A and B are shown apart, each in its own frame.
Chain A
């Protein structure tokens, strides 16, 4: 059990870090939409529309690392399996 929790903590931390890096390492808050600019050629105005996209931010990373730390902490309550 101890080893399982430690592995799970490592997995959660790594998965969060990889997801955060792969989506552009957004150092702001998590976004659920991103602005997309389109140019109106007649007026020269750049229109802004929002496209649904999940962009994890530092809050996502913090929550994931917090969860990983809890799992790692919980593993301390279990004893190492003894070999006879």
Chain B
């Protein structure tokens, strides 16, 4: 084989290898979750959401180029008290029938620091809740687990990407009972996301 034939092949192989990997966050193990906490003077509300999906494009060689979208099914938001859950889902609060998805679409990363397989950065993107889209910046931590998919899902070869984020939003920014019930339902909501996505090698 001539050198002129080899060069395009090597270039193609390198390009394929260096391409960002698409990680699917629909978790077959059901471990992915988002936790929310509202701490008001009279009442504390703690709950979680498990209906998480979405895709993140991550290049292990260039984590700064990471982009993606994470979707939380609003219907999956759960609190231990059935009446609180009913109120939370109702048209007066999240109106999950009208706004079935809570999303974060990441557009860019800043202050990217990579140490081994861990990258920390500030992710800027559009957070959509209750039908209101707002640009926010949140600190995130990405952990790339090369070749670890089979340890989690037997018979599947590939990599895992763990995304963690802790941040606070204000419900008033998303038109959720603005200025109402602040003694019982805190205007600030602490969110904590811990999710794993899978890249399956074909």
Instruction: Using A28-B44, A38-B31, A48-B48 as known contacts, say yes or no to A43 and B145 having CB atoms under 8 A apart.
Output: yes
Residues of A contacting B162 in the complex (Cβ-Cβ under 8 angstroms)? 43-45
B97 at interface by CB-CB < 8 Å: no
Contact call B80/A47, Cβ cutoff below 8 A: no
For the complex, give the distance between the alpha carbons of A14 and B43 in Å: 27
CA distance A46 to B33 in the complex (A): 8
If A33-B80, A35-B80, A40-B29 are given as contacts, then 16 extra A-B residue pairs at C-beta distance below 8 Å, sorted by A number, are: A29-B84, A32-B82, A35-B48, A40-B31, A42-B145, A43-B31, A43-B143, A43-B152, A44-B162, A45-B162, A46-B194, A47-B29, A47-B30, A47-B31, A47-B33, A48-B48
Q: Main SS of chain A's interface residues?
A: strand
Is A77 an interface residue, CB under 8 A from the partner?
A: no
A residues within 8 Å of B by Cβ?
28-35, 38, 40, 42-50, 55, 57
Residue of A28, A44, A46, A50 touching B78 (CB-CB under 8 A): A50
Q: Does B67 contact A (CB under 8 A)?
A: no
- CA distance in complex: A49, B29 (Å): 11
Cβ of B7 to closest chain A Cβ, rounded Å: 40
Closest-CB distance, B49 to chain A (whole angstroms)? 9
Our pick among A29, A35, A40 for the contact of B83 (Cβ within 8 Å) is A29
The contact of A45 among B31, B44, B84, B151, by CB within 8 Å, is B31
Q: Is the CB of B81 within 8 A of A31?
A: yes
A44–B162 Cα gap in the complex (Å)? 9
Which of B32, B44, B148 interacts with A42 by CB under 8 Å? B148
A31→B29 contact, CB < 8 A: no
CB of B35 within 8 Å of the partner chain: yes
**B6-39 at interface with A (beta carbon < 8 Å):** 29-33, 35
B145 near A48 with CB under 8 A, answer: no
Q: Report if B120 contacts A (CB, 8 A).
A: no
> A32 with B152: in contact, given A42-B145, A42-B160, A48-B33 (CB under 8 Å)?
no
